[in-house]
Amino acid sequence: MEQNDISSRIVFADRGKVNVEKGVEFAPKFDQNGLIPALAMDHITHEPLMLAYMNAESLRMTMELGEAVYYSRSRQEIWHKGATSGHVQKVKQILVDCDQDALIVLVDQCGAGACHTGHHSCFYRSVPFGDELKAQPQGGGVTLREADGGVVFDAEAVYGKGH
């Protein structure tokens, strides 16, 4: 479907004319770059899979297609998750926070994983804090810890070298 078709069918409410926090009209607040953060989470386990951004066009496409479509800040283009890898995210629900400036996209993660590094989730490392942080050597940087079971697919085979 052409983007113009989607734009004419899905119209967001004017934030200045609706009760954003208590009303039922969808009036997403995009930042100064025209983006809104979208946290993709597994719809059953609620495991965080990845944090990406959507612009108005990719949000409309996500709503229309029922598959996650993001905006790549590094490539400056629309990015249909899984178009290259086959690891599509089938949308089960889109949640919006109270002031409509952040989204949670509950998805069925198809394929081995969401992360381009080969991990199931982009959140595969943890940041030490408290006693664990105090136990790290002083004067150096903070050492991240593995937080998952490791790589679940060969990223180079899926995305090519230098992905």
Binding-site residues for Mg(2+), in ranges, read: 97, 99, 101
| Pair of tokens at residue 106 | 């509950």
Summarize the annotated binding site for Zn(2+) as residue ranges.
98, 115, 122
Task: For 46-72, give one letter per residue: b (16+ CB within 10 A) or e.
Answer: eeebbebbbbbebbbbbebeebbbbbe
Which residue intervals of the chain are DSSP H helices? 3-9, 56-65, 130-134, 155-159
What amino acid is encoded at 161 in this protein? K
Summarize the annotated binding site as residue ranges.
97-99, 101, 115, 122
| Pair of tokens at residue 118 | 């080969």
